[in-house]
Amino acid sequence: MTYVHETIVALQRSSPAQTEFYQAVEEILESLRAVLETEERYRRHAIIERIVEPERQIMFRVPWMDDHGNIHVNKGYRVEFNSALGPYKGGLRFHPNLNAGIIKFLGFEQVFKNALTGLPIGGGKGGANFDPKGRSDAEIMRFCQSFMNEMYRHVGPNTDVPAGDVGVGAREIGYLFGQYKRLTGRYEGVLTGKSLLWGGSLVRKEATGYGCVYFAQEMLANQGLELAGRDCLVSGGGNVAIYLIEKLYQCGARPLTCSDSTGTIHDPDGIKLETLKTLKEVEKVSLKNYVQRHVRAHFIPLDDYPEDGHAVWRIPGELAFPCATQNELTRADAEALVNNGCIAVSEGANMPSTPDAVDLLLDAKLLYGPGKAANAGGVATSQFEMAQNASMQRWTFEQVDTQLKAIMADIYARARDTAIKYEAPGNIVLGANIAGFTRVADAMIEQGLV
C-alpha cells in the first residue's frame, strides 16, 4: 500500500463520505511524490498527516423565517484549515448541495492557492446548504443575520477573514457585515468583497475572472503565442465568467459561450457582455432569455447535453475557461477539446476538471492552468482589500489591477520554475502543488508541532 493510498484510506475512516475532499487530497499528494522522496524533513515532521487535517471545523444550525412566517433550518459550516502563513482566508458559499466534503475540498485547495500568491494568508472555507435563488432580500437578510449569529465568534481581521463565493455576493456580504458589527460593536475588515461605500476594494468583483485571463496570457506568452484573435469557450454565468468574458474582449479575444444551471448559450458572433450582465446581475434570470435578444445565438438546455459531459466543451474553440463548478469538465469533454484544436485550458472554478480529464489534457500537451493557480486572483485581491482596510486607504483601479497582473505573472513563474526543478517542464499542476505545499510545510516546521 502506497503512502498516498494509506493517507486516503485513513481519511475515509476518519472523515467518511467526503468524495470531493478525497479527490483533492489525492491529486495534491500524487504531485508531491518527488518532493516527499527527496525532502526527508517533511516525513520526519509528519507534515502530510497534519496538513490534511483542518485545524478547526465548525458546524452549526442556521434557523430563519421566510416571508410567510415559515421556519427553516439549514446547516452552516466554517472549516479553518491552515493558518501557518497568516489568518484563515477563503470564501463563503451558499448552495443547496453544499456538504462537509465539498467545504473541506475547497478549504484544502485554498491553503495551497493562497500560499502560491506569496501573500501572508492561510486557508479556510465556509458556507451553508441554503439556496438564495428565488428568495427575497428580506429572507436573505434574515438568513445572513442568523448565520453570522454563530460565525462572529470564530472570525476577525487577524483570525479568519471570509469572502464571498457561489451564492454570496455584495448583498450577502453587506448583511453579514452589518450583523457582525451589531454583535461586536466593531467596524473592522472582517469580511472582504464589501461594497465600495464602506471598505471594499476596486477590482474585487472582476479579480478572479481577470486573473484567470492574465494567467492564460502568461501560459501563451511563454510559448510565444498571443491571446488576441482567438475563439474562447467559457462555462458559467456568474461573477467569474462575466468578468473573464469582459477581460477576454479587452485582450482582443472572442468568447463564444457561457452557461448556467439551465443550459448553455453559444453565440457565434461572440457573447454580448451587456446582455449577459443585464440577465445575471440586474434581472437575475436564466440565460435562456439571451436568445430572445440575439437571434443568431443558440440555447442548449440541460436535457440536450451529452451524457458524458458538458455542452460548452463540445463547441470548437482554441482556449477553454471552466468557470462553473467542480468536476464539470470530463475526460470525454477533454477529448472533444483536443480534437477541436483547443491549445489551452485556464480554470476559473475550483477543481472543475476530473482527474482523468486533467491526465488527458497533460498527455496531449495542452497548456493547462489548474484552478489553485489560475483563479487565485480573487483571493489575492481580497488580501489587497485587507491591506487597504488595515491602513485606512483606498487604492485606485489601476493600482489594484497592476498588482493583480503582477501576482498572476508571479504565480505562473513560480509554478513553471518549480515544475522544471522537479524535471516535469510544462506540468503546471505539479509545479503549483509543490510550490504551494513547500511554502506552507516549511512554515509549519518552523512554528513547531502545533
Q: What are the backbone angles phi and psi of residue 321, rounded to the nearest 5°? A: -130, 90
pLDDT tens per residue across span 207-253? 999 999 999 999 999 999 999 999 999 999 999 999 999 999 999 99
Determine contact, residues 253/227, Cβ cutoff 8 Å: yes
Beta carbons within 8 Å of 450's beta carbon, 6+ residues apart: none
Q: Is 288 helix (H, G, I), strand (E, B) or coil?
A: helix
User: Each residue of 83-123: pLDDT tens digit?
Assistant: 999 999 999 999 999 999 999 999 999 999 999 999 999 99
- Residue 388, SS3 per DSSP: helix
Q: What pLDDT shows up at residue 1? A: 47
d(CA 250, CA 371): 22
Burial degree of 298 (CB within 10 A; 0-12, 13-18, 19+):
middle
Are 170 and 205 spatial neighbours (Cβ–Cβ below 8 Å)? yes
Burial group, residue 262, by CB count within 10 angstroms (0-12, 13-18, 19+): middle
Give the pLDDT confidence of 278-307 residue by residue, as tens digits.
999 999 999 999 999 999 999 999 999 999
CA gap 168, 176 in Å, rounded = 10
pLDDT of 273 over the 70 cut: yes
Which of 432, 426, 436 has its CA nearest to residue 367? 426
- 312-326 pLDDT per residue, tens: 999 999 999 999 988
Residue pointed to by grid coordinates 489594484: 400
- The answer as to CATH 3.40.50.10860 being correct for domain 3-188 is yes
Q: Are strands 263-266 and 298-301 parallel, antiparallel or unpaired?
A: antiparallel
Is residue 432 within 8 Å of 422, Cβ to Cβ? Answer: no
Q: Diameter of the chain by CA atoms? A: 64
Output the CA–CA distances (angstroms, integers) from residue 438 to 24, 444, 450, in the order listed. Answer: 17, 10, 17
CA distance 76 to 99: 9
Crossing angle (nearest 10°) for helices 3-14 and 19-31: 160
What is d(CA 194, CA 182) in angstroms, rounded to the nearest whole number? 16
User: Is the pLDDT score of 426 beyond 60?
Assistant: yes
**In the predicted model, is pLDDT for residue 3 greater than 80?**
no
- 232: which strand partners? 255, 319
4 pLDDT above the threshold of 80: no
What residue segments make up the domains of the chain, in order of their start?
Answer: 3-188, 205-365
CA 148, CA 178: separation in Å to the nearest integer? 9
Q: Which residue has the higher pLDDT, 39 or 445?
A: 445
| Average confidence (pLDDT) over 180-205 | 96
Any idea which residues carry the catalytic annotation?
A: 125
Residue 65's φ and ψ, nearest 5 degrees, are -115, 135
Beta carbons within 10 angstroms of residue 124's beta carbon? 32
CA atoms within 13 A on the CB side of 340: 20
Q: Which amino acid is at 103?
A: I
238 C-beta neighbours (distance < 10 Å), count: 22
E strand segments, 223-274: 231-234, 254-255, 257-260, 263-266
Say whether pLDDT at 347 is over 80.
yes
8-state DSSP, 56? E
Same fold, 3-188 and 205-365: yes
CATH number belonging to the domain at 205-365, selected among 2.40.50.140, 3.40.50.720, 3.40.50.1820, 3.30.9.10: 3.40.50.720
User: Residue 414 and residue 434: Cα distance in Å, rounded?
Assistant: 10
What gap in Å lies between CA 240 and CA 267, rounded to an integer? Answer: 19
Given pLDDT bands bounded at 50, 70 and 90, which one contains residue 2? confident
